[in-house]
Copies of this chain bind each other. A is one copy, B any other.
Amino acid sequence: MGRRTFLPLLLALLTPGAAIPVPPAVRALNNLHLSTSSTSHPAIVMEYSIHYIQQKVDHFGFNTDKTFNQRYLIADKHWKKDGGSILFYTGNEGDIIWFCNNTGFMWDVAEELKAMLVFAEHRYYGKSLPFGSSSFKDSRHLNFLTSEQALADFAELITHLRKTIPGAKNQPVIALGGSYGGMLAAWFRMKFPHMVAGALAASAPIWQFDNIVPCGVFMEIVTTDYRKSGPNCSECIRRSWDAINRIAENGTGLPWLSETLHLCTPLKHTQDIQNLKDWISETWINLAVVDYPYESNFLQPLPAWPVKVVCQYLKDPSVSDPQLLQNIFQALNIYYNYTGQARCLNMSETSTSSLGSLGWSYQACTEMVMPFCTNGIDDMFEPHSWDLEEFSDYCFRQWGVRPRPSWITTLYGGKNISSHTNIIFSNGDLDPWSGGGVTKDITDTLVAITIPEGAHHLDLRANNAFDPTTVVLARSMEVRYMKQWIKDFYANLRKKH
């Protein structure tokens, strides 16, 4: 079975950059940590302290009273006890320090909102491991890795902060997150509205479940990105799969492909061809996800508008198979070797760290069951249908668990969420994940913000001189909504007293 319909899609995208280690700029200074956002304009100095809170391993059962330490970061430079607020990042599937460093938006608005910034690490990621190094050992140890447990951790943490930080008790908390973290932010407001006054859910594909959206929408958006980024670009990619298949059939095809694509590990068996195609597909997807308007280092160091750059090599679909593959290499080389340091391309690395990938692989096999498919017509990929049974068997072999594909809809409501309030769903039109996102207002207080020139949660990134007007506008709307929630919170507080 191809890898494609499974984890890599999710991992590559929902775990953007989990592979990237903590930026070296982060340095310990007692419990004060500093780093600088390199893409920020002007550069922001990020200063935070690291903390741990003891959490129940199981919030929903009493048989075990075992606890673990959940990590969280606090930055309170701009926080005001009088009329301030708390911006709470609902950590997703990776190291919280990395998310902290890649969520410049929160740092940029802290002063205006007199906000304390809190970044909460998601259990089973980073340093927040319920069973230490045994956390991923088997399904018994992984049993407490669910979105519900994560939300309960957040609720307990906020309760703790309100109790222990003088001045925090009567302040509005706003949840923020991107990608899976954006889903958590939205779900947190839905399930714990007493904890947060509102939520900014950036690029949160809360509808990429069950059959709420067509399974093909994701890859169609990827394809559109390439089609619009250069003439014939998507067509070159569409043709490349058969070109690879034809070359592979040739006796010297595998070594030729290995050499042409500068692979670190040469292809040896026919089944390696599927891996090769999956790896290339993932690369195109990742590029679409991080198609940012300026040089960045999110999943990989990349030039501005990387899909456009890649498409400069993919202009002519009518060239010979070998020529097409040489062009494909040039394109891949942008993603894997923009800095020019790589001596070969490593197929086992796309953008995932082993830690994040383990955790997300389990989550995708249990609750986070996102059906994906391609048909090769509306998209530029080889056709691949969504096969739940096959997926379930894979999950059972891998983790000893079976997915419950309808559970997320039963739990969080699917499309029936109009009774909730104060959630901003932001999406970039370039982002393949926008296909499973909320891109139209549901009510006056469940609003959608779309960013035509935005890739994956561009709005959460730091201000940048090259930001398109549309993301600048989106951020200012987001700030306006947050200010309104803060104002309403204080008005209600005054009413009570």
Contacts and interface: CB of A to CB of B under 8 A. Distances in A.
Interface in A386-444: 401-402, 404, 406-407, 410-411, 413-414, 416-422
Among A62, A193, A367, A420, max chain B CB count under 10 A is at: A62
A65 interface: yes
Contacts of A402: 62, 65
Given A159-B410, A411-B155, A416 B143 contact: no
A41 interface: no
Contacts of A149: 60
Nearest to A140: B63
Nearest to A159: B410
A414 B146 CA distance: 24
B413 A61 contact: no
B148 A62 contact: no
Interface string A97-129: 000000000000000000000000000000000
A146 B61 contact: yes
A418 B492 contact: yes
Copies of this chain present in the complex amount to 2
Contacts of A139: 62-63
Among A63, A193, A420, max chain B CB count under 10 A is at: A63
Q: How large is the interface on A (under 10, 10 to 19, 20 to 34, 35 or more residues)?
A: 35 or more
Contacts of A140: 63
A407 B159 CA distance: 10
A246 interface: no
A278 to B, nearest CB: 26
A492 B401 CA distance: 39
Interface in A25-80: 56, 59-63, 65
Nearest to A395: B62
A64 to B, nearest CB: 8
B191 A191 contact: yes
Nearest to A413: B194
Contacts of A144: 61
Nearest to A396: B65
A62 B143 contact: yes
A340 B483 CA distance: 69
A143 B63 contact: yes
A143 to B, nearest CB: 4
A238 B402 CA distance: 60
A366 interface: yes
A65 B413 CA distance: 23
Given A401-B62, A402-B65, A411-B155, A419 B421 contact: yes
A251 to B, nearest CB: 47
Nearest to A155: B410
A421 B492 CA distance: 17
Interface in A437-485: none
Nearest to A406: B159
Interface in A155-209: 155-156, 159, 191-194
A146 B63 contact: no
| 9 A-B pairs with the lowest CB-CB distances in the bound complex, closest first | A194-B413, A194-B416, A63-B143, A193-B419, A62-B401, A61-B143, A62-B366, A60-B60, A63-B139
12 contacts: A60-B61, A61-B144, A61-B146, A62-B142, A62-B401, A62-B404, A152-B410, A156-B410, A159-B406, A193-B413, A418-B492, A419-B422
Interface of A: 56, 59-63, 65, 139-140, 142-144, 146, 148-149, 152, 155-156, 159, 191-194, 366-367, 401-402, 404, 406-407, 410-411, 413-414, 416-422, 492
